[in-house]
Structure 1
């Protein structure tokens, strides 16, 4: 009987697929300190920015909804998107 892959293995696979599709830098979940590397899907951009500011060595953050992993925000992608002219507009 096969066991289901661990969350870490599923995340590695998900990130590998997205890396190939989006051309992002290679990043493994082992690079993410697990103590502060996840946020709720309801987190705002300010929450993500604050987490990156408070954790300078954090390369990315996992976005989850309760126990389901929804995605990964890399610091590089986040900062690239913030540098676009429309990103500075407040709502």
Structure 2
């Protein structure tokens, strides 16, 4: 029975080691994900100046990155909007 108890003890120690390694790995991954989130979230604000104008070379006339409403509401056209695909 001494051999069986020794194997049980080694297995329990191995399970504890795996548990500690898993906990440290999960903590490290959480810390890295948080770090990347903070870096990438704050890294995009440097592309704009304080006046709200964009520093990119886009063709926008107002210089901002805000959305703009359309000039008129879309209208429903006449005819069928169904398009078929495939063979038969």
TM superposition score category, shorter chain reference: under 0.3
Looking at secondary structure, tell me which structure has more strand per residue: 1
Structure number, greater radius of gyration: 2
Pick 1 or 2: higher relative contact order, CA cutoff 8 A, min separation 6: 1
Normalising to structure 1: TM-score of the pair?
Answer: 0.20
Looking at secondary structure, tell me which structure has more helix per residue: 2
